[in-house]
Amino acid sequence: MISALMILGVFVACGNKNKPKKLEEPLPLNISVFLDLSDRLTRDLSPSQISRDTAIIGYVTDWLKEKTVGAKILQSKNRMKILFYPAPKSSDIATLASELYFDVAKFKGVEKRKALEGYPSDGTESLKSKFQKNLAAIYDKTVDEKDWVGCDIWDFFSSKKVDAQCVENGFRNILIILTDGYLYEANHKEVDGHAYSYISPKTLSDSTSSLIVKRDGLNDLEVAVLEINPYDIKHRDKMKEVLESWLQAMGVAEEHVTVAETDLPVHVKTIVRSFLEK
């Protein structure tokens, strides 16, 4: 009797051991793209900086669509938005930007697929088409007005605005920043020895310089800073080092930080996909 029970126990144990583990469902995606509307848009590049930015955002919308369309599209909560900080002064740009928010959960039934892929017969634009059309208009308006608002990336993180705008509980939070890497805002200019609230050619010339770290707790965020483009190529590695160290000091895990210089869109596509697929 004891032997029979022991044998039964062995079979049960083996059965449990060989039983496949239930795979965890991936978290819904919460993707934010932060745009630097500074005079970097007029840098002498071929293709242009605007074309490069637009291509990157196109890769991201393609990837979001790929991860959303499928058997579980009806339950999907994936979302994506474009943001700026500070907000553009132009009301036209603000209006265009307000339309650059996509939340698949707001659509019902077949409308979810239509919003992602487009449906020409009833005039529904695809996610990619709408984002790229509005972005082209925003960039054109910005270049025409030449009112370079720029971006205050340092304060966006330090004042915890990033938490409010880019971090949601229960989501995989992804932030992609498109900037040349020069962080500067006169109203938030701080210096503490060799630590600064900004990145400039002068600070990059200081081998010991860093960015001031005012907070932590960003362990639930993945950040890619793309299109960095120092005026002096000798500053490229220093710029990358400063940005990477700053993000990690605030709690972003090393494996969730990507900082990459500007390159041809076909090459950047690989970098973007590698970051998103981590």
The number of folded domains in the chain is 1
**Is 16 contained in some domain?**
no
9 lies in a domain? no
Q: What is the pLDDT of residues 204-223, one digit of tens each?
A: 999 999 999 999 999 999 99
Round to whole Å and give the CA distance between 270 and 59.
10
Q: Is residue 5 part of a domain?
A: no
The helix (H) or strand (E) run that includes residue 176 is strand 172-178
> Is 241 domain-assigned?
yes
Q: What pLDDT sits at residue 3?
A: 54
Cross-strand partners of 102: 80
Structural domain containing residue 224? 26-276
Residue 6 lies in a domain: no
116 falls within a domain: yes
Q: Which residue has the tokens 């200019």?
A: 189
Q: Is the pLDDT of residue 16 over 60?
A: no
Whether 184 maps to a domain, the answer reads yes
Beta bridge partners of 32: 81, 175
**What does residue 109 show for φ and ψ, rounded to 5 degrees?**
50, -130
Residue 177 lies in a domain: yes
pTM: 0.90
pLDDT(186) > 90: no
Identify the CA nearest to 31 among candidates 64, 55, 69: 64
Query: Can you give the pLDDT at residue 25?
Result: 83
Q: Which CATH number covers residue 246?
A: 3.40.50
pLDDT digits (tens, 9 = 90+) for 221-252: 999 999 999 999 999 999 999 999 999 999 99
Q: What are 115's two structure tokens?
A: 């919003």
Residue 139: which pLDDT band, with cuts at 50, 70 and 90? very high
